[in-house]
Amino acid sequence: MRAANRGDAVAYHRVLTAITPILRKVVRARGSGLGTEGCEDVLQDVLLAIHRKRHTWREDQPLRPWLYAIARHKVVDAFRARGSRVEMSIDDFAEGLPAVDGPDPTMGRDMEKVLSALEPREADLVRAFGLRGETTAETAARLKMSEGAVRVALHRALKSVARLRKRMIE
Amino acid sequence: MKTEELISALAVDTLPQPKVSSLLWRALPLAVAVSLCAFALFWGPRPDIVAAMSSYAVLKTLGPVVLVALAMAVAVATVHPASSQKIPGVLLGAVIAVALGVFSVFLAREGQSALVHALSIPDLWVCLLSVPVLAVPMLGGVLWALSSGATTSPRLTGALAGLVAGGAAASVYSLYCNKDMVLFVLPAYSSAIAVVVLAGAALGPRLLRW
C-alpha cells in the first residue's frame, strides 16, 4: 500500500486484489440480507471508498484496522439506504423463468447504472481500464491525448463515479 | 461491472491525493485573512491594544489559540479512520476543564451578583454576534478541508470544526473587545464559541459524508 501511495500501479493492483476476498467475507457476513449481488455492490462501494480515501491511511499505522473501519462505515451506509427495499429471492419466480446460467457472483449491478449516468467519455475511460484492460499508453493513443491527460481524466471520472454512488445511496 | 474490472480501473489511477492536514494549512490561513479583513473593516482593534497585549488581557487572545490547535489535532484524527485521537482529545478536555476551573474560582470569589452585573452590558450581544460572524470563513475552510478526509462520525467532526473556527474567531474578536473581566470574558466567549460548535455539528452530517 505504501508503494501504491507513491504511484506504483502494479503494487496497488496487487493490494486491491489481495484485500478483496477478505472484504467480501466481511461484507457478506454483515450483509447477508442484501443478496449476493447486493453484497458485491457494497463491496465495490468499499473498494471505491478505499480508493478515494487512500490518503487517510497513516503509513505508520497498521492497514487492517483502517480497511475494516472503511468497510464497516460503507456496510452501515448500504443498510441505511437499502434497508427499506425488499430483496426478493429469484427462487420465487424460478419456475416461470427459462433456465439461464447462474449469475457471476462477482458481478455488481449498481456500477452499470452509475456508468450509464456518467458522461460518455468518462464512462468510456472507466470501461477501457476495467473491462478492456487497456494501458494508459493505449488509451492515450486511441483518444489522441497525452498519457498525463488520460490519468487526470480517469482520476476525475472515478471521482464522478464516487459522487454518483453517494447520491444513489442518499 | 465485475469487481475485478473495477479493481483494474482503480489501480491505474495512482495520482497522489493531498493530505487532509495540508489542505487545512492551505485553507485556514486564507480564511483567517478574510476574517481579519472583515475585522479591520467593521470592528478595528481597541484603542489601547498595545497596553492590553502586554497585560494579562493577552490571555483572551492566546487562550483561544491553544483551543484551536488542540481542536484541530482532534478533528484531523477523526477524519483518519482507525487512528487514535486520545492524546489531543485528553489535552483538549484539560483545557476546557482549566477554563471551567478558573471560571468557578472567580465565581466563588466575586459571587453570583457580580456575574449578572458583568454580563448585563450590551457588549455581551456584540460578542455573541461578532464571533459567529467572524467564524464563517474559518468554518467554511475547515469543513472543506475535513471533507476530503473520511470521518466515521460526521457530527463530532463538524462540532470540532466549529470549535476550531469559533476559537479562531474569538481570538480575532478579542483584539476589539475591551472588556477584560474574567466573569465576562469566559462565559461570553464560551457561549459565542458554542454557537459556532452547534453550527458545525449541524452542518457536519451534510457536508462531511463520503
Return d(Cα B142, Cα A82) in angstroms, integer: 32
For chain A, first and last CA: distance in Å?
Answer: 30
Q: What is the pLDDT of residue A101?
A: 54
Question: Using CB atoms, which residue from B14, B16, B149 is nearest to A9?
Answer: B14
Residues A119-142 have a mean pLDDT of 84
Residue A67 has pLDDT above 60, yes or no: yes
pTM of the entire structure? 0.86
- The strand ranges marked E within A80-144 are none
- What is the arithmetic mean of pLDDT over A32-39? 79
Say if residue A35 is exposed, middle or buried (CB neighbours under 10 Å; 0-12, 13-18, 19+): middle
d(CA A126, CA A121): 9
- Residue A103 pLDDT grade (very low, low, confident, very high; cuts 50, 70, 90): low
Longest dimension (CA), chain A: 56
Contacts of A69 in chain B (CB under 8 A): 81-82, 152
Residue B117 scores a pLDDT above 80: yes
Query: Could you tell me which residue, A101 or A121, shows the higher pLDDT?
Result: A121
Q: Return the C-alpha cell found at B110.
A: 466575586
User: B11: which chain A residues are within 8 Å (Cβ-Cβ)?
Assistant: 9-10, 12-13, 16
A135: left (phi over 0), alpha (psi -120 to 50) or beta: beta
DSSP code of residue A7: T
Beta bridge partners of A107: B2
Give residue A86's pLDDT: 44
User: What's the pLDDT score for residue B84?
Assistant: 84
Round the average pLDDT of chain A to a whole number and report it: 81
Per mean pLDDT, which range of A84-98, B36-50, B123-137, B176-190 is the poorest? A84-98
Quick check: A9 and B4 CB within 8 A?
A: no
What CA–CA distance (Å, rounded) separates B128 from B194? Answer: 10
Section B83-96 average pLDDT: 91
pLDDT (0 to 100) of residue B138: 97
- Break chain B into its structural domains and give their ranges: 18-207
**B1, B10, B14 member nearest A108 (Cβ):** B1
What domains can be seen in chain A, in order of their start residue? 1-84 (1.10.1740.10), 109-170 (1.10.10.10)
Question: Taking residues A110-124, what's their average pLDDT?
Answer: 84
CB contact under 8 A, B83 and A58: yes
List the grid coordinates of B130: 461578532
Whether residues A56 and B3 touch (CB distance < 8 A) is answered with no
Backbone angles phi, psi at B188, to 5 degrees: -65, -50
Of the candidates A106, A85, A104, the one whose C-alpha atom is nearest the C-alpha of residue A41 is A106
A1 burial via Cβ count (<10 Å: 0-12, 13-18, 19+): buried
pLDDT band at B66 (very low <50, low <70, confident <90, very high): very high
In B58-87, the residues whose Cβ lies within 8 Å of chain A are 79-83
Q: How many angstroms separate the CA atoms of B73 and A119, rounded?
A: 39
8 Å CB contact of B20 and A8: no
Contact B3 A154 (CB under 8 A): no
Which residues does chain A have within 8 Å of residue B9's beta carbon, measured at their own beta carbons? 126-127, 129-130, 154, 158
Give percent above pLDDT 70 in chain A.
Answer: 85
CB contact under 8 A, B12 and A55: no
Rounded Cα distance between B104 and B109, Å, is 8
d(CA A154, CA A161): 10
